[in-house]
Chain A
Amino acid sequence: MRTLRLLFWLLLIPMPWLYAQNTEDLLEKQIRLEKTTGTVQEILQELSQLGGFTFSYSNHLPLQKQVTIQRAEQSLREHLAEVFAGELIEYIVRNDKVLLRNKLNPQKGEPTKGKITISGYVREKGSGELLPGVNVYLPGSTTGTPTNQYGFYSLTLPESDSLTLIFSFVGYQPEVHRFSLRQPRELNVELQAGTMLAEVEVQGSQPEQVSQSVQMSQIELPVSQIRKVPALLGEKDVLKVLQLMPGVQKGTEGSSGLYVRGGGPDQNLIILDDAVVYNASHLFGFFSLFNGDALKSVELTKGGFPARYGGRLSSVLEMTMKEGNKEKLRGEGGIGLISSRLTLEGPLRKNKSSFLVSGRRTYADALFRPFIPKGDAGYYFYDLNAKVNYDFGRRNKLYLSGYFGRDNLFTRKRYDDQSYQQARLDWGNATGTLRWNHLFSDKLFTNTSLIFTHYRLRTFESAQEPDGSEYLRQYTSSIRDISLKHDYDFFPTPKHFVKFGLISTYHRFTPDALVLKDTDVNEQRRQGEVIDVVESGLYLEDTYKPWSRLKLNAGVRLSHFARKKGGYVRGEPRLAAAYNFTDDLSLKASYAQMNQYVHLLTGTGLGLPTDLWVPATGEAPPQRSRQVAAGIAKDFPQKGLALTLEGYYKKMDNVIGYREGANFLPINNSAESANQVRWQHNVTSGQGWSYGTEMLLQKKEGRFTGWAAYTLSWTLLQFDELNFGQKYFARYDRRHDISLVGIYEISPRITLSGTWVYGTGNAITLPVASFRVAEHFPSALTLIEVRLPLPRPITTGEKQLPDGRLPPTGPSPAVSQAKEALRANLGVWSLQRLQPAEPLLLLPPH
């Protein structure tokens, strides 16, 4: 205990990675046991806790054997000799880790007769959650494979009498398994989540090192980190944490939109359990939909997209929900300033079936109600994640998951004369996924999913008069998808990991539907078009290791889009390569072509939920991007650091921009304004360029974790119909962006975290002058004053907001930059009539 306290004070200065114990001394370290009787496992746990290091051993050790230690205080070597008396166990020390191994004949490559396949599932100990992305490999070599999205792995290896496989994953203690491989076998492993007290190093290079993976431009966020990084008003938020990564920017202060490598929030494919989510935020962009308590993994890909992804230009954000603890019932709740949440998970049938239910709701409306004078007005949001799964056995598993969330802004008023008025703006997503994993053989794993998604935005006004007359006006914009997805994971040899599959989605768009009813003028009207389209993709990709130093991921995706008036078929080649100069330094490069067949129209820059999802048409053709990226990845295994440095260049074609005068939300009642909202008239197509470099220094393990990120980027757009056809910097173009995040675990129950961000200003168009204009009456002239930004060609650096030093988040963020921009932007549209229209002066006709 004393040793632990001493460690704590030293570690308060956050430089713990410089603190390392001398390896030779570890076995000689004197440890005083408090409990000297117990199972081998208990003694080992106590030794590691007291000694400040960790053990790594396979389950084949006699862990449940009861032992009694004769001397409570002795060196570690002597303790171990007592624990394993009679067994042939060898100890290997690596920094702060002690490996325990059965002293059998050392493995030797024997002339092989054949290759045997070993496969199985990797789960989390204590909950039974399947773990995707776990590295399964032979130590000291690059032979290995990650587990797939459903925790399944398969390796075909030469026959051997004794083989060692290591299972490792960030945030968990690695497992070492030794066995003989003579027949195909199933090996299911459970990993213990580890709150590491010191760094982990297993011999040789580790596959979870960035330099070992062929995938570049990808960010994997351990959910545990998401839960520790502070965000606005203390709410944990996946999207906010992603905004702290290089290459990902937020558009405006406080919003949760993702601008990835120069692409707007419409260019991100956001997937939750295979279902596409269309509007990813609550509270007008301040909070994302995703409840951190229900998530298992979060992965953002910014470039070098593997062929299995398609449909959006700039990024793929794939999130998987937890299945639910299969072993025992657990609950978790939280109270926050904005919302409260509750999560319940547990087994339905122990080790076979489990469920997870997680919900969130705001209660700000209930709190503020007494303060809102007359009438009723309020805002609330809620969301619910639910998942049920059944494990039929090795070959079949079934999952059913769903998400339902809604935001609601409303006002209601009942007047003294009994007339009643209400207005409402609401929006929300609902998704449902049914998935079936099937194992055809040890080498072929398939998944079939049936997916349903529905997104709807609605404005609603109604009034009832005491005389019985009624007025109703409802505008909705919605999109409904039904998809079928079929994927294969094929593990022919350790050198190849092949994926292929098909996804087909039937979209039903209702971009603008209007229902009007007015009994006063006896009008009843319903209008709105429905557009049905089918979007499909067929892909094939292979991760191939021709030599130990080179890894390639090559693939092709064929995407297809069909509507009544025709369709598009496009091929998208994808290629990524990684070359290892040394064990921990690699050079990576990638090329990816992406197509996007649905457009998101967001009329204003203010992040309001007036999102319109519309399909590509002749007037708004599909968007396309081609991206080239290259970079270096270097690991510092002793310090647990990973550094990636990447440069990219992306060209986008047919990006969507909004015409002058575009209007997306009909405010007035007139038919003219409803017609104006024909979205096809509101958009125009152009092109974009985005390029820059990103640097990320990340520490994923240990007591102190976090990252430092720096992005230098440019984003330019050009539309024939806007800005006189000249190139201009996109509104969200930000030259420099720095983020520093630190998470420090003071004790297993207390974590201290902080973030610091710095960004240069966004591009902005400010009004510089105003002038008077005259309107011609057929009979006379009057004068109106208009405040306008005058057209200026872009020159670098001009009209960029001054550098803003954004504060470290904690209590409250700064809104000053946004305020300035907001004030200026609104100023553009203010109109002052200095001269009221005068009575006409008739100039007599000729």
Chain B
Amino acid sequence: MKLFKNSSLLALALLLLACEKEVTSPKLAGYQSQLVINAFISPQDTLLRVLVHQSRTVTDDQPVYASGAVTDATISLSDGQRTIRFPPAQSDSILRGYVYQVRAEELPIKAGHTYYLEVRTPDGRLAKAQCTVPVANTTAEWVIDSTEVSENGFNFKRYTGNLRWQDQAGEANYYRIAAEAAITQTNRRDLFIPLSWDGNYSAFFSDERLDGSVFTSPTNTFSLNQLATSATLYVHLLTTDRSYFQYHRTLRSNETGNPFVEPVLIYSNVEGGLGVFAAFNRTTLVLKLK
């Protein structure tokens, strides 16, 4: 009697055990691959370059490392009156990919003008974008200070510098700064080093709450030792359009590595595709230190 009671209880308990079924390959509605444009123009560049890729669906058959580069696109750039066509894609070893480029003289990029980019592929996809080149900000000045330091038997000069510039009031402005030092040394190879701002090689600014005020960059510290024979500092102040600023800001947000951050969509101003077509105007200060 007791055995029957207990075994029937056990049977009931087994019936109620968990049943698991893992869900594999959820059906995703058909998604078309889209064109991705990357192009940045400025009056200072000697080459106009456009990168064209296409997005890859998570379920496509291509190998993981395939770049998705599009090499058969027809690209045209216009300033409203004249239109130029880009030659076919060329392979670029430094970028390790394909780039469409044309010499800047073909269509000079001027501040204040709006440019229209159109990318067409043989399979009928069309992506369009436009941007307006901002006016250069020429008020930049580099404030520098130096001290002689002696450490571990080496003598070197430590420089600290800030970039300062005046924002144009009454309009929305966006900036980016970067700097490099070109150093030649005795018996050693020439150096070309990017300078860092707060741990990044460049910094972005917006005049949203600081319209019309004087901007000061984070302080930069670098040293020159006695082996250096000559040193030249190139400091760039890029006045950029809003697309440039938004795009890089969202790109940076995706790189934090902090798993608790809310996702950020990468900015795009391309109609019919992804990516960005943005403009900037660069002012470079050349400072000879030695």
Contacts and interface: CB of A to CB of B under 8 A. Distances in A.
Contacts of A767: 58
B261 A662 contact: yes
B286 interface: yes
Contacts of A788: 265-266
B26 A766 contact: yes
Contacts of B259: 826, 829
A771 B23 contact: no
Contacts of B94: 780, 838, 841
Interface in B6-24: 8-9, 12-13, 16-23
A842 B282 contact: no
Chain B interface size, as a band, is 35 or more
B28 interface: yes
A772 B36 contact: yes
Interface stretch (A240-248, A385-393, A492-500, A603-611): A603-611
B34 interface: yes
A840 B36 CA distance: 24
Contacts of B13: 810
Interface stretch (A82-90, A703-711, A811-819): A811-819
Contact of B260 (A664, A774, A802, A820): A664
A834 B65 contact: yes
Contact of A781 (B51, B238, B263): B51
23 contacts: A603-B261, A661-B253, A662-B261, A670-B199, A672-B198, A752-B9, A766-B28, A768-B31, A768-B57, A771-B54, A773-B36, A776-B278, A778-B178, A779-B180, A791-B265, A801-B23, A807-B20, A812-B18, A816-B20, A816-B21, A840-B180, A845-B234, A845-B282
Contact of A774 (B38, B43, B199): B38
Given A789-B263, A816-B23, 10 more contacts: A746-B9, A768-B31, A770-B58, A771-B68, A781-B38, A801-B26, A829-B259, A838-B94, A841-B94, A846-B46
A828 B263 contact: yes
Given A768-B57, A776-B244, A807-B18, A663 B238 contact: no
B139 interface: no
Nearest to A834: B65
Interface in A625-681: 658-665, 667-668, 670, 672
B23 A770 contact: no
A754 interface: yes
A805 B22 CA distance: 10
Interface string B167-198: 00000000010101010000000001010001
A458 to B, nearest CB: 16
B18 A813 contact: yes
Contact of B23 (A754, A807, A820): A820
Nearest to A807: B18
Given A772-B36, A807-B18, A604 B194 contact: no
A813 B20 CA distance: 8
Contact of A776 (B54, B194, B248, B262): B248
Contacts of B284: 845
Contacts of B43: 846
Contacts of A423: none
B192 A771 contact: no
Contacts of B201: 777
A104 interface: no
Contact of A810 (B17, B251, B255, B266): B17
Nearest to B194: A840
A603 B45 CA distance: 43
A831 B254 contact: yes
Interface in A790-846: 790-791, 798-799, 801-802, 804-805, 807-814, 816-817, 819-820, 826, 828-829, 831, 834-835, 838-843, 845-846
Nearest to A682: B262
A782 B251 CA distance: 13
A594 B259 CA distance: 35
Nearest to B256: A663
A24 interface: no
A774 B51 contact: yes
Contacts, number: 193
Contacts of A771: 34, 36, 53-56, 68, 274-275
Nearest to A765: B263
Given A805-B19, A811-B17, A835-B96, A770 B262 contact: no
Contacts of A754: 16
Contacts of B238: 778
B121 interface: no
A783 B26 contact: no
Given A767-B58, A780-B94, A790-B31, A775 B251 contact: yes
A335 interface: no
Nearest to B236: A778
Nearest to A604: B260
Contacts of B244: 776
A514 interface: no
Contact of A769 (B23, B57, B255, B275): B57
Contact of A808 (B18, B23, B96, B234): B18
B49 interface: yes
Nearest to B257: A831
A784 B275 CA distance: 12
A780 B45 CA distance: 10
Given A661-B253, A672-B198, A805-B21, A781 B49 contact: yes
B97 A775 contact: no
Nearest to B42: A846
Most buried by A among B27, B28, B248: B28
Contacts of A819: 22
B275 A778 contact: no
A12 interface: yes
Contacts of A665: 260
Interface string A58-97: 0000000000000000000000000000000000000000
8 tightest CB-CB pairs across the interface, nearest first?
A807-B18, A771-B55, A774-B38, A778-B178, A662-B262, A845-B284, A660-B264, A769-B55
Contacts of B3: none
Given A604-B260, A774-B51, A807-B19, A783 B97 contact: yes
B202 interface: yes
Interface string B236-274: 101000001000101101111111111111100000001
A422 B79 CA distance: 61
Contacts of B68: 771-772
A656 to B, nearest CB: 12
Interface string B65-102: 10110000000000000000000000000111100000
A768 B28 contact: yes
A798 B34 contact: no
A786 interface: yes
Nearest to A813: B18
A476 B263 CA distance: 24
Nearest to B193: A840
B38 A814 contact: no
Given A779-B180, A782-B95, A810-B16, A660 B58 contact: no
B185 to A, nearest CB: 17
A829 B254 contact: yes
A771 B176 CA distance: 25
B55 A790 contact: yes
A603 B260 contact: yes
A680 B28 CA distance: 36
Contact of B16 (A664, A668, A808): A808
Contacts of B33: 769
Contacts of A839: 192
Contacts of B178: 777-779
Contacts of A772: 36, 53, 67-68
Nearest to B261: A663
B180 A842 contact: yes
Nearest to A666: B258
A798 B29 CA distance: 8
Interface string A607-626: 01010000000000000000
Contacts of B26: 766, 801-802, 820
